[in-house]
Structure 1
Amino acid sequence: MKKIDAVMKIFYVDKRFIWKFEDVHEEGLTIIYDIFTCLEDLRKCAYVFLNLDVYGDDLSVYLEGVFESHHDDEYDEFVDRTVAKQPDLNEEMDNEDIIELCMNLADAECERYNIHGKWKEMGVDFKIADTTLIVDLIGELVGKDVSKILHKYSSYQILDDELREDLKAKLPETA
C-alpha cells in the first residue's frame, strides 16, 4: 500500500466520524461532542505521512468535496496534487509504518470505546459510539479482522506490545 492511500483512508474515516458526530453536535450536546477527542487523534494519524508544509492549516479547505463527489475526479486531483507536492507519499509503506499507523488508530479506538462506556454507565447511549470505522480501517491496513484484539486492547485486557505483535502477525507476507 502506498503512503498516499493510507492517508486518504484516514481522511475518509475522519470525515465519516465528523458526519456521524454532527447529529450529536446539533442536538446541543457540545460537551459530549468535544469529549470524543479521538476525532482529533484520528486526524493526527493522517499526518504521520503528510507534511504540514504541503497544505498548512488549509488542508480541510482542499479536502472539501473530495469524498462527497460521485465522480473520482476531485479525489484523483487531490491525490495527484498532494503527490506532486510531496513525492515520497507515492512510496510503498513498510511494515513498521503500517504498524505505527495502526497503533495510533488503535489508541483512537480505545478512547472512543472507553468514553462511550463511561457515558453508557451514566445512562446515555449513542448509536454513534457503535461504529466500526476504525476497526474496519485497521483490518484493511493489516489484511485481517482485528475486532477481537482491538476489543481486548480497548478494555485493557492486553497491552500495547501484545497488540503490536498481533498486528505484525496479521500483516500479509511480503515477497
Structure 2
Amino acid sequence: MQIQTINKLKELTDNRKQLFTEYLTITQKLTDLKEEDVEQITAGMEQRAALAGQIDDLGIQSRKVCRADGREEHLTEILQCRADFSLLSEEEKELFSLCQSVNRILLEIQDQEVLVHRNFEDIRNKLQESIHRNNTGAKFAGYLNHMNYGASKGVLYDSKK
C-alpha cells in the first residue's frame, strides 16, 4: 500500500509540475506584452486561471491520497519538503526531490509575478496618458457646444426666447 501511495503522489506531483511549468511560460510571456496586446493579455490571464484551477484539483487529490493512506502527517511533510530527508525511504526521497523541483518552479513564478505586475503598471500608465491626451479633444468639443456652436444648443436657446 505504501509504495502505491507514493507512486500515486509522484504521479500527481509530476502533473502539478507540468502545469506549473506551463503557468510559468505564460507568466513569462505576460512580462513582455505591450498596451496594444490586450487580447493576448486577456487570453494569458484566462489560461493562468484555468491552470490554477487544475493545480488546485491536483492538490485536493494529493490530500485525499494522504488521508486514505493513514500516514497523512508524514506524507504531507514530504509533499511540503519539511520531512527529514535522511529518514525517508528511497521512494519517499524521490517524491521529496520531485516536490523540491516543483518548489523551484514556484519561486521562479513568484519572481516573474513581480515583473508582470510592473509591466501591467507601465501599460496602465501609458493608457492613462493616452486617455489624458485624447481628452483635450473632448474638452474642446464641450467648449464649442457651450459657446452655442452645436445645433442642439441653438435650438434650446431659441425656444427659451
Which structure has the highest helix share of the two? 2
Q: Which has the larger radius of gyration?
A: 2
Give the TM-score normalised by structure 1.
Answer: 0.31
Larger RCO, structure (CA 8 Å, separation 6 or more): 2
Give the TM-score normalised by structure 2.
Answer: 0.33
